[in-house]
Chain A
């Protein structure tokens, strides 16, 4: 049961354009959402996060939008750069069975074409 879904396994974008990565979740108990970036042979690195009480958080070229009613979040990268080519994981944090758990999506591979 995938509680965090990234339905696009890959995405190709031209350099300078906007990249939009999407994520859907099913568990309404999630209260904190994160995006991670992962390069091959490295562990994921934290990119940006958003609390469930907000609908937008911006950090430089990266903006995360949260639509709680639709249980949907998205990551916008503007402008996209070749160095942004990586796998992006969406993650959600919430309590389940008395424990805090982090649930990740399966990732979207972004390729930024120069």
Chain B
């Protein structure tokens, strides 16, 4: 069974630009969560999507948004990029909602904002 895939793996953007990251969950998984990992803050939960609806969210500004498609694939968008948005963005999928212990993570997208 293929794992969680994330594209692109690496991305360099300029301050003020916007970026879209993509996540394809494991086949059959309907929940997708997004996390931001930085050296000083560790992994921070962004949001969780299930059945195309955002079900849970963390404490990030509205510049961070996401969506989920009918095939459970998810995209995350960050608008008006800031230097502090440089991070590893991880997506995780699970069969159902709130099943944290059954999450499978992708390898992440490394975003660098210059």
Chains A and B come from one and the same complex: yes
List the interface of chain A (C-beta within 8 A of B).
Answer: 4, 6, 32, 34, 41-46, 49, 89, 91, 93, 99-107
Extra A-B contacts (13), CB below 8 Å, given A34-B100, A102-B45, A106-B40: A6-B42, A43-B92, A46-B103, A46-B104, A49-B101, A91-B43, A93-B100, A99-B57, A100-B48, A100-B55, A100-B56, A101-B56, A104-B43
**Residues of the A chain whose Cβ atoms lie less than 8 Å from the Cβ of B48:** 100
B109 CB → nearest A CB, Å: 11
B43, A43: Cβ atoms closer than 8 Å: no
B interface, CB within 8 angstroms of A: 4, 33, 35, 39-45, 48, 55-58, 90, 92, 98, 100-108
- CB neighbours (8 Å) of A107 from chain B are 42
Which residues of chain A are within 8 angstroms of B58 by Cβ–Cβ distance?
A: 101
Chain A proximity of B76: nearest CB distance (Å)? 15
Chain A residue numbers with a CB within 8 Å of B107 are 41-43
